[in-house]
Amino acid sequence: MPQCSFDYRGSVVFVAGGTSGINLGIARGFAQAGAAVAVLSRSQAKVDAAVLALQEYGGIVLGFAADVRDAGRLEVVFGEAHRQLGSIDVLVSGAAGNFSAAANSMSGNAFKAVMDIDLLGTFQVLRFCYPYLRKPGGCVINISAPQAFVPMEMQSHVCAAKAGVDMLTRTTALEWGAEGIRVNSLVPGPIEGTEGMKRLSPPGPRGARQIADSVPMKRQGTAADIAAAAMFLGSSAASYISGAVLPVDGGWSLGGAGLIGQILSGQSETERGEKPPQP
Ligand code: HXC
Ligand code: NAP
């Protein structure tokens, strides 16, 4: 667990996709550090539960049910968040979808679903939050994934979408830098107990151990590890960091991250001789 303390009292933080997993962990970190926090996701039930959890820290919390693919709804949501909270200091864009599917069998609509949520969704979140970002001083954190730069079997849709997210990070950092807005990508490694790892890693304790062993630091990460990095990127300690793509993954993307694709396509077990080769 990271030992760090940040003071976000008086700051406004908006977390798109902030109602579960890593993004809720990020929202928790900022709320605990004193920020007013808004979260957004599709499910009203998840929004309500997240708001209740975040209110434990004593600050202002807003929740919005919205789909990041719905531009009109985002325009309304960010206008309302600004009306109630004022300028947004930190925007986290982390809504995403994932499933395991081979490029040669997935439908165009399946590929498009992930592109629309991860890439177009991130663009729209940034686009409609932009008028309300603090200028100067605002900061955007896009949640990327190792798939952006580590090719993985069964993940062509996610690899393409997250690579696009990182390019969006760099182009908006270029376009918005003069206004004093910083834009960075934060790249989590395998984070324990999350929907993403439930969908991608082999089941059970043995699967979790296999993933942990593929990380140079020999453990999966926690949502708190990612929250600490997000709070660093949002803080004045990072005031000259913009356009960066920051892995927070215990070194996983240096070599071990490709294991997921091998597991999903069945290569890994075959190579270790634990499954007889197919005739
Ligand atoms: C093949 C699939 C599929 C699968 C869906 N589709 N699941 N194709 N294999 N397992 C296809 C559908 O058949 C359909 O195509 C198209 O995708 C859209 O499906 P819908 O169900 O209509 O989409 P939607 O309701 O928009 O839901 C999006 C979703 C869903 C991505 C499919 O799983 C979702 O909402 N996920 C959000 C939660 C999530 O995934 N969290 C994990 C994030 S982790 P057709 O042709 O039939 O119309 C992450 C990175 C982890 O992003 C990195 C770890 C290292
Ligand atoms: P998660 O719990 O499923 O988080 C995804 C969030 O996005 C949820 O709050 C979900 O809520 C919301 N969401 C999904 N589709 C949406 C849409 N169309 N519009 C609005 N909100 C939407 O998954 P996670 O595993 O914690 O992943 C969180 C982020 O970290 C993602 O960006 C993922 O790519 C990234 N990441 C994860 C890992 C990992 O180890 N898990 C590793 C690298 C990167 P609703 O269902 O209510 O919409």
Domain boundaries, given as residue ranges, for the chain: 12-272
Distance CA 203, CA 82 (A): 43
Name the closest ligand to CA 158.
Answer: 1
User: 167-212 pLDDT, tens per residue?
Assistant: 999 999 999 999 999 999 999 999 999 999 999 999 899 999 999 9
Q: Which two tokens stand for residue 267?
A: 């290569």
Average pLDDT on 243-264 reads 96
Distance 50 CA to ligand 2 centre (A): 14
Q: According to the model, what pLDDT value does residue 269 have? A: 57
Nearest alpha carbon to residue 90 among 143, 132, 140: 140
Ligand 2 atom with the shortest distance to the CA of 18:
9
What is the number of other CB atoms lying within 10 angstroms of the CB of residue 127?
Answer: 15
User: 82-131 pLDDT, tens per residue?
Assistant: 999 999 999 999 999 999 999 999 999 999 999 999 999 999 999 999 99
Q: Which two tokens stand for residue 231?
A: 């709070």
Confidence check: pLDDT of 43 > 50: yes
What is the number of other CB atoms lying within 10 angstroms of the CB of residue 193?
Answer: 13
3 vs 167, which has greater pLDDT?
A: 167
Cβ(38)–Cβ(14) below 8 Å: yes
Name the closest ligand to CA 21.
Answer: 2
CATH fold label, 12-272: Rossmann fold (3.40.50)
Name the closest ligand to CA 42.
Answer: 2
Mutating to test ligand 2, I would choose from 119, 168, 191, 248 the residue with most ligand atoms within 8 A of its C-beta, which is 191
Q: Is the CB of 190 under 6 A from ligand 2?
A: yes
Cβ(107)–Cβ(157) below 8 Å: no
Question: 73 phi and psi, to 5 degrees?
Answer: -70, -40
Distance 96 CA to ligand 1 centre (A): 9
CA 66, distance to chain mean position in Å, is 17
Percent of the chain scoring above 90 in pLDDT: 93
Mutating to test ligand 1, I would choose from 69, 98, 185 the residue with most ligand atoms within 8 A of its C-beta, which is 98
* Closest protein CA for atom 29 of ligand 2: 94
> pLDDT band for position 79 (50/70/90)?
very high
- Please tell me whether residue 21 adopts helix, strand or coil conformation: helix
Q: Is the CB of 67 under 6 A from ligand 2?
A: yes
Confidence check: pLDDT of 271 > 50: no
Q: According to the model, what pLDDT value does residue 270 have? A: 45
Question: Could you tell me which residues are beta bridge partners of residue 91?
Answer: 14, 140
Q: According to the model, what pLDDT value does residue 167 have? A: 99
